[in-house]
Structure 1
């Protein structure tokens, strides 16, 4: 089953993180990514820009209407997300708990109930 694991953050948290600790934190994250990519359980890991870079896109009378985001007013936002493919919920939980920052920040884990992969042809093709 596939899962999305999400880590939340905000710019104040990143600014408060000591600059000299970033190289070790990034190395620990890359080691995590490599370990689970090699098992085939990590499909992808994605870090997002600060919430100030988010945009909302709507359609009005057939034309895109773009405004600054994010959609929700919140102090926290999704900072990164990981796509996992695991044999069980328990395995996904173990992987989420193994994330480098899981000892100080919770990891939100969501089962994926529907999938439409971009690399598969549509039924009408």
Structure 2
């Protein structure tokens, strides 16, 4: 079963952390990523740009139409996402809880109910 882990942050918080602390925490996260990638349980890990780099895209008359935003009502926004492939929700929770900073920031966990890239019933890709 696949699970999506979401990490929230805000630009003020990240800006308040001294660079030497961030370097240590990034190294811990890199080690966590490597460990779970090596076990085969971590399929993907992505850090996202800040809220000022995000945009909203719609279809307008068949063409992409982009606006500024999202306009967040909360200070926090999704800043990282991880995709796990594990045998159970319990295992996904164990992995999420072992993430660096999980004692300070919650890790949001969502089951992935549909895999658009799953093998076709006839065994084809």
Report the TM-score when normalising by structure 2: 0.91
Q: Answer yes or no: is the 8 Å Cα contact 1:56–1:67 preserved in 2.
A: yes
Q: What number of residue pairs does the alignment pair up?
A: 122
Which stretches in structure 2 are left out of the alignment for 5+ residues? none
Tell me the residue number matched to 1:40. 40
- Equivalent residue, structure 1, for 2:96: 96
Give the distance between the partners of 1:21 and 1:72, measured in 2 at CA: 27
Describe how 1:17-36 pairs up with structure 2 within 5 A. 17-36=17-36
Q: Once superposed, which parts of structure 1, at least 4 consecutive aligned residues long, lie more than 2 Å away? A: 71-74
Alignment of 1:1-125 (within 5 A): 1-70=1-70, 72-117=72-117
The Cα of 1:92 is off from its aligned counterpart by 0.2
Length-normalised TM-score, structure 1? 0.91
- CA-to-aligned-CA distance 1:47-75 (integer Å, 9 cap, x gap): 00001100111111122111111154321
Runs (5+) with no aligned partner, structure 1: none
